[in-house]
Amino acid sequence: MVKPRTEEEIALLRENAILVSKTLAEVGKAVAPGVTTAKLNEVAETFIRDHGAVPSFLGFEGYPYAICTSVNDVVVHGFPSNYVLKEGDIVTADIGTVYKGYNGDSAYTFPVGEVSAETRRLLDVTKASLYKGIEAAVAGARTGDIGHAVQSYVESYGYSVVRELEGHGIGRSMHEDPGVPNYGRQGHGTRLPEGLVICIEPMVNAGGRGVYLARNGWAVHTADHRKAAHFELTVVVRKGRAEQLSTFEYIESTGNI
């Protein structure tokens, strides 16, 4: 059931959104050649707990780490590990918090050192597609309008949208109705009421849209092993223009990306 939020609830969701935004920036500062993804997990978990919150991913459906770190051909749900990041890699940090009974959830794909122009373009297009989705998330529109905006932008660059995973409503639970697919048809899907809070999160493959699940039951890889990017923000559906709750400003003001 799609449930618009009160302004009091939105204030608590905003606190979480700002905390995940700041946590992503801390992780971004740590991303560099020679750093393990386990270290990124540690940086995030420490920062979240130091702010009196809990990393929501830890134990979620049995997930064993505080955050997801998805390198290169891993689209989402990569386990932090002893893998040492190297120049030219990309790594997505996907981070969730629970604070004061509400959730935050945001993701950003970081370049590791200098990346190729081709990789830079994948990151830029994926992030821009998220903002296209946000532009479509206005009161009275439908989830298909968001999906269409993301998909048409992404495909105009020759990239593919992953269809097996999608954005979602967020509140006291991390994943609430409605599902917010990154593909779709204008005028179709769930209608978006004013005050609904959703996470929009395009997952974009440089090559084909096919993916498979790793044997650990979590990591989702591109079938062709080309790179994938993933950016996620939380917004409140408003009349005329959505209000962003999370932001990449903290990341992008560090100058490390």
Q: Which of 107, 165, 196, 203 binds Mg ion (CB under 5 A)?
A: 107
* Min dist. Cβ of residue 161 to Mg ion (A): 15
* Min dist. Cβ of residue 34 to Mg ion (A): 26
How many angstroms separate the CA atoms of 88 and 111, rounded? 7
Contact between residue 184 and residue 144 where contact means Cβ atoms under 8 Å apart: yes
Between 26 and 232, whose beta carbon lies closer to Mg ion? Answer: 232
How many angstroms separate the CA atoms of 109 and 121, rounded? 12
Between 107 and 139, whose beta carbon lies closer to Mg ion? Answer: 107
233 near Mg ion, judged by CB under 5 A: no
Positions in 194-213 near Mg ion (CB under 5 A): 199
Between 58 and 114, whose beta carbon lies closer to Mg ion? Answer: 58
| DSSP string of 179-233, one letter each residue | EE-SS--TT-S-B--TT-EEEE--EEESS-S-EEE-TTS--EEETT---EEE-BE
* Min dist. Cβ of residue 24 to Mg ion (A): 10
Positions in 236-255 near Mg ion (CB under 5 A): none
Between 60 and 212, whose beta carbon lies closer to Mg ion? Answer: 60
94 near Mg ion, judged by CB under 5 A: yes
Q: Which of 26, 73, 89, 105 binds Mg ion (CB under 5 A)?
A: 105
141 near Mg ion, judged by CB under 5 A: no
Distances, alpha carbon 30 to alpha carbons 49, 148, 184, in Å:
17, 35, 36
Distances, alpha carbon 71 to alpha carbons 15, 87, 139, in Å:
28, 12, 35
166 near Mg ion, judged by CB under 5 A: no
Contact between residue 183 and residue 147 where contact means Cβ atoms under 8 Å apart: yes
For Mg ion (CB under 5 A), the number of binding residues is: 5
* Min dist. Cβ of residue 61 to Mg ion (A): 13
**DSSP 8-state symbol, 105:** E
* Min dist. Cβ of residue 168 to Mg ion (A): 6
Between 145 and 176, whose beta carbon lies closer to Mg ion? Answer: 176
Single out the segment in contact with Mg ion by CB under 5 A; choices: 14-22, 52-60, 106-114, 145-153.
106-114
176 near Mg ion, judged by CB under 5 A: no
Closest alpha carbon to 149 in 80, 200, 220: 200
How many angstroms separate the CA atoms of 12 and 9, rounded? 5
Report whether the peptide linkage leading into residue 181 is cis, meaning its omega lies within 30 degrees of zero: no
Contact set with Mg ion (CB under 5 A): 94, 105, 107, 199, 232
